[in-house]
């Protein structure tokens, strides 16, 4: 079963979002730096143990990614600005998942080939799809760190079948024209969160 592990937002500054996160009752975890990728990253989780509203259990984490230096993330921020960058999906078997992709309509991003013959993770893309998809082998996240119940993406009708190939119930087509995060505290437009910094 494919599970949402994280939704990654590309941001200009990790620190600038702190007041907005706190106002939503969310806590910023420590910053981690990844010089090879050219990023500074921070996960966001629920602050405390407030009672959750009724609905499906949260399935994923929120990851904020700030470019540090040059590289793919810095280019993406310069070209498209802040916003949804990728969705990380955990699968029980990466090779088995990859074997089912050829007829799915997804393209394997060249970034996936950086590890040579050893497949560590798989990055998928498709023109018109509003985010990259990172697939890796591993367990889903459970516990207080999980914040996201679902991600809703604005998709043209022709791109909606791509969701079925992912096999992840937490990723859906949006009713409107904006990307939404369905969190434990309610629905939030991605642009609304980023504009509040």
12-51: pLDDT as tens digits: 999 999 999 999 989 999 999 999 889 999 999 887 644 4
At residue 47, the pLDDT reads 74
Q: How confident is the model at residue 95 (pLDDT cuts 50, 70, 90)?
A: confident
**113 contact partners, CB below 8 Å, separation of at least 6:** none
The predicted pLDDT at position 132 comes to 95
Mean pLDDT of 137-142: 72
- 29 neighbors 45 (Cβ within 8 angstroms): yes
Residue 121's pLDDT band (cuts 50, 70, 90): confident
Indicate whether 53 pLDDT > 60: no
pLDDT higher at 125 or 193: 125
Summarised one tens digit per residue, pLDDT across range 103-113 is 899 998 877 76
Produce one character per residue of 25-40: b if its CB has 16 or more CB atoms within 10 Å, e if not: ebbbeeeeeeeeebbb
Name the residue among 192, 195, 94 with its Cα closest to residue 135. 94
Query: What confidence score (pLDDT) does residue 51 get?
Result: 45
The domains located in the chain, with CATH, are: 3-195 (3.10.180.10)
Please give the mean pLDDT across all residues of the chain: 87
What does each C-alpha distance from 90 to 14, 61, 64, 130, 138 come to in angstroms?
A: 25, 12, 18, 19, 5
pLDDT value at 10 more than 60: yes
Rounded to two decimals, what is the model's pTM? 0.90
Check: CB of residue 61 under 8 Å from CB of residue 151: no
Give the C-alpha separation, 168 to 112, whole Å: 20
Identify the bridge partners of residue 89 per DSSP, sorted by sequence position: 4, 135
146's enclosing H/E stretch is none
Per-residue pLDDT at 58? 64
End-to-end CA distance of the chain: 36
How far, in Å, are 55, 85, 132, 153, 192 from residue 74 at the CA level?
37, 12, 15, 23, 21
DSSP-assigned letter for residue 95 = H
């Amino acid at each position: 079963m494919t599970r949402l592990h994280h939704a990654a937002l590309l941001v200009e500054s990790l620190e600038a979002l702190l007041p907005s996160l706190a106002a939503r009752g969310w806590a910023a975890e420590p910053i981690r730096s990844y010089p090879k990728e050219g990023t500074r990253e921070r996960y966001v989780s629920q602050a405390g143990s407030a009672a959750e509203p009724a609905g499906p259990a949260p399935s994923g984490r929120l990851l904020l990614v700030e470019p540090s230096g040059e590289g793919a993330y810095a280019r993406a921020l310069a070209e498209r600005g802040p916003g949804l960058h990728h969705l990380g999906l955990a699968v029980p078997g990466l090779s088995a998942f990859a074997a089912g992709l050829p007829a799915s309509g997804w393209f394997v991003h060249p970034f996936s080939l950086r590890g040579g013959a050893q497949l560590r993770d798989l990055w998928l893309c498709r023109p018109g799809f509003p985010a990259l998809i990172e697939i890796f082998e591993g367990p889903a996240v459970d516990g207080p760190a999980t914040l996201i119940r679902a991600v809703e993406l604005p998709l043209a009708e022709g791109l909606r079948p791509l969701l079925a190939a992912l096999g992840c119930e937490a990723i859906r087509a949006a009713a409107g024209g904006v990307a939404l995060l369905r969190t434990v505290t309610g629905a939030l437009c991605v642009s609304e969160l980023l504009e509040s910094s």
